[in-house]
Amino acid sequence: MSFVQNQAVTGFTFALVNKDTGAALTGVAGAITKFETIDGGTQASLSGTIAEEGNGQYSINLTAAEMNGSVIGLLFAHANSIPVQFTIKTTGGSTASTTESSLSQTLTTLRQEIGWYWLGERTAANWSADEITQLDDIIHAGLRQFYHPPPIGGGALAHKWSFLEPTTTLTTVAATSDYTLPASFGGMTGPLTYAAADNRWYPIEITSEHRIRMLRQRDFNVINTFPLSAAVRARTSDGSDGQRFEILLWPTPDKAYTLSYRYHALQIKLSASNPYPLGGEPHAETILESCLAIAEQRLENKSGVHSQKFHERLAASVSHDRQQFTPDRMGYNSDKSDGSAPAEGEFRRFFGTDVDYEGTVFYDTNP
């Protein structure tokens, strides 16, 4: 399993079986003990409440603090069950401050620079609580501007930073086709792929939501097999929580598959325990100028030298990101531009049922 370090997890699931009969253990959510270790440290109890999902499956929410480590060990047990243990190796967490470049920006250095411009004072001890709030509001607005920059050079599309696109996994459940994506999900990048153990040749291509609905309305959607297509859809919200998304799979999975995908990760605020903006030392000046540009616009009610400097630094940062992380080779371009016909499996996938013989439809679930 792979999750993002220091990011809360909603609905982590596990199952318990009766140690005497081997049957699913149900109706015991309130009596399950729940523990974790972080990076091999002292075992502690999890804070979340366990909910019963049915058929021996339970779920629990994990807080960001409970996920703040490189290796998270989870243990769930009941007097009548066999204990279950999970090891989670997180991704995307900040490195230890002792190994971070001393030229990187931090919350402290950004406060000092913005404090000098905004208040004429670099010393934190001389700032009031309200002034610190003002500085942090400017810094976080500057980070939002940097993480989601405007197009540069007259381009139509804004740049997407490579360091904001980690890879994580989704484990499917038999007969379940829709899954809520992490709270940090901000967009899919590329297709989903199967784990080697799943023994599947084809990636899961991203298509439109209405395409999935069209595929599902066909009569052969009652056959569950390995998914071939997926779409991302916004979940309905009344604003009581942040915007969430879900992924729709087709066909409906017939069993558990481990799907890997890359996505644009939404970020959290800087804090004493998370002081580093993402991007690191190569983008330190761009981050600073983005924050100064916000301060300049709020103080002067217009764009000035720092806004101009931010756009100059943004161009340099985009150039660096493209040079460092654009692959030399994208792979074989199998676009069928030579006029070759679609394979038989593609006809099955997109154009309906396989064989209709005397009123009986036969399906090939392994094209």
- What's domain 1-93's architecture? Sandwich (2.60)
In this prediction, the residues of the chain whose per-residue pLDDT falls under 50 are: 1, 94-98, 341, 344, 353-354, 359, 361, 363, 365-367
Task: Give the integer Cα–Cα distance in Å for 187 and 165.
Answer: 9
Written as six digits, the tokens of 273 are: 């325990």
Can you give the pLDDT at residue 353?
46
| Whether this model's pTM surpasses 0.75 | no
Quick check: helix, strand or coil at residue 163?
helix
Task: Give the integer Cα–Cα distance in Å for 149 and 318.
Answer: 10
2-4 sheet: strands from edge to edge: 2-4, 84-91, 71-77, 33-38, 44-45
The full length of the chain comes to 367
Task: Judge whether 46 and 66 are in contact, CB under 8 Å.
Answer: yes
Beta bridge partners of 265: 185
Q: Could you state, in order of their start, the residue ranges of all structural domains in the chain?
A: 1-93, 107-159+279-324, 162-277
Q: Which amino acid is at 267?
A: Q
Burial class (CB in 10 A: 0-12, 13-18, 19+), 315: middle
Can you give the pLDDT at residue 95?
46
Query: Would residue 20 be called left, alpha or beta, if left means φ above 0 and alpha means ψ between -120 and 50 degrees?
Result: alpha
**How do beta strands 245-250 and 178-180 pair?**
antiparallel
Quick check: helix, strand or coil at residue 233?
strand
Residue-wise over 320-334: b if at least 16 C-beta within 10 A, else e?
Answer: ebeeeeeeeeeeeee
What residue spans of the chain are helical by DSSP H? 107-118, 129-147, 209-216, 284-300, 305-325, 344-350
Task: Give the integer Cα–Cα distance in Å for 282 and 317.
Answer: 7
The residues, ordered by sequence, that sit 6+ positions from 145 with a Cβ below 8 Å of its Cβ are 290, 293, 294, 310
Task: Judge whether 222 and 140 are in contact, CB under 8 Å.
Answer: no
Can you give the pLDDT at residue 367?
45
Beta bridge partners of 168: 261
Q: Nearest to residue 14, comparing CAs of 63, 81, 79, 70?
A: 81
Residue 360: CB atoms within 10 A of its CB come to 7
CA distances to 189, 331, 352 from 200, in Å? 20, 19, 21
Task: Give the integer Cα–Cα distance in Å for 65 and 55.
Answer: 30
pLDDT digits (tens, 9 = 90+) for 285-300: 999 999 999 999 999 9
Task: Give the integer Cα–Cα distance in Å for 229 and 207.
Answer: 7
Written as six digits, the tokens of 41 are: 């440290």
Residue-wise over 269-294: b if at least 16 C-beta within 10 A, else e?
Answer: ebeeebbbbbbbebbbbbbbbbbbbb
Task: Give the integer Cα–Cα distance in Å for 116 and 291.
Answer: 12
Task: Give the integer Cα–Cα distance in Å for 79 and 85.
Answer: 15
